[in-house]
Structure 1
Amino acid sequence: MNLWMRKIAVALIAVLTFGLYTPTYLIADEENNEVVSPKGHDHSEIDVEVVSNEDDEDIDVISTFTEKAKQQSLTKFGPKISEKVEVEFNQIILPKIEQALVTILENEDTSYVSITEQPSNGYGERIFNIYNELTKEDIAKFHVRRDNRPLEGYWFNFHYHVKEDNFETHYTLGEIYWDKNTPPKWMA
């Protein structure tokens, strides 16, 4: 088990048990890179359980963020737009948002990462931002833009930006066709 994974496991168990129990079998002897066992017992089975629990926690974080992203998107659309594009959004855009979240959060400490609660209304593009609660810095910004293509009509262009390139590059998630008529304002 990597050193940082052991530290996270110790911290999580300590927090979950309110500090009443600290798993000493996970504390590493840093000089020898070995796990210290208090009574000489073999704890390899326990190590495997901890790794699988952390994998489950990563999946839970992604599924939680995906569910919040869906809620924020439907809030942004409002009832008039949601009625028409919700099915297509759930089938095409939402899985791509989930993939983007996995990519974005793989290098982040997810215990301090949150999603903004209020999408922009009117004609604003913001659906939600992913940000670090400690530094208050944005990690990624998820947007939807209205595109009016001549002779085609209106399209909703879903994309995101990341802090690595100073939020300049558009990473496209997909598009949903609206109609030739102008869509209502967001959250209407």
Structure 2
Amino acid sequence: MKKWLQKTLVITVALLTFGLITPNHEIWDALENGHGNNGSSDSTIQSNASNEQVTTVVEDGYAIEQSEDKQDLDSILFAAKEQSYIKFGPRIAPVIGQEFEEKIFPKLEEVITMTLSSLDEDSIKYLAITDRPSGQYGEKIFHISDGTSGKDLIRFHVRTEKRPQDGYYYNFHYHTSKDKFVAHHSLGDIFYSKNTPPKWLS
């Protein structure tokens, strides 16, 4: 076999496998000397099989790592939506549910994703989300906190606002630990009715 073709094959294999599979010299011996004997081709096949197995293990390990991160995010987003509907209760949810899904939740999801992307892997594993939205006319929907220290990272709230001539609106917003929860970061407003809305959780 010509040297330039041999070098091209070596480089191609190295690039395609990111260096995980190294070319076996027995392959080149077999190609240069014809097919070689059965013993050498068997060992080449065994060697290639073991190399492929290593590659699979590495790739599977990466896939598991990726899916665990996604699973953490998915479980937090699922809990966030669940807590929101618990707060709305069966009387408010049918009125604002669809608009919440279309208008508010995608923004809420974006904020959670950005917050989690700024954390390291260990911190993400120990995140906690509160499971008791406030009732009556309280604003709290849920808080996401560092599970080890117990300190809140981000707080999601909804405020009932009465606007003269317009009626009642729900203002969805959040607060972050970056500014010590002082600023209101708006996610959007949803109109409820001109009539007084029921209490949360009712």
TM > 0.5 fold call: yes
Q: Take 1:87 and 1:75, find their aligned partners in 2: how far apart are those partners?
A: 15
> 1:8-19 counterparts in 2 under 5 A?
none
The aligned residue for residue 65 of structure 1 is 76
Q: Which amino acid aligns with 1:93?
A: I
Contiguous gaps of at least 5 residues in structure 1:
1-40
Q: Deviations over 1:82-111 (max 9, x none)?
A: 121111111221111111110111122211
Question: Which residue is 1:101 aligned to?
Answer: 112
Shift of 1:45: 5.4
Is the partner of 2:155 in helix, strand or coil?
strand
1:132 aligns with 2:146: yes
1:83 corresponds to which residue?
Answer: 94
Give aligned pairs, total. 149
AA matched with 2:126: Y
**Structure 2, unaligned runs of 5 or more:** 1-50
Cα deviation, residue 48, structure 1: 4.1
Correspondence 1:185 to 2:199: yes
What's the TM-score once normalised by structure 2's chain length?
0.68
Cα displacement (A) at 1:154: 0.9
TM-score by length of 1: 0.73
1:56 aligns with 2:70: no
Report runs of 4+ in structure 1 exceeding 3 Å deviation.
41-52
- Percent identical pairs in the alignment equals 39
Corresponding residue SS for 2:200: coil
AA in 1 matched with 2:199 = K
Is 1:176 aligned to residue 187 of structure 2? no
Q: State the alpha-carbon separation in 2 of the partners of residues 170 and 51 from structure 1.
A: 39
- Rounded Cα–Cα distance in structure 1 between residues aligned with 2:179 and 2:170: 24
Q: Aligned partner of 1:162: which letter?
A: T
What is the match of residue 161 of structure 1? 175
Q: Which structure shows the bigger proportion of residues in helix conformation?
A: 2
Aligned to 1:32: none
SS in 1 for 2:111: helix
Q: Is the 8 A contact 1:139 1:162 kept in 2?
A: yes
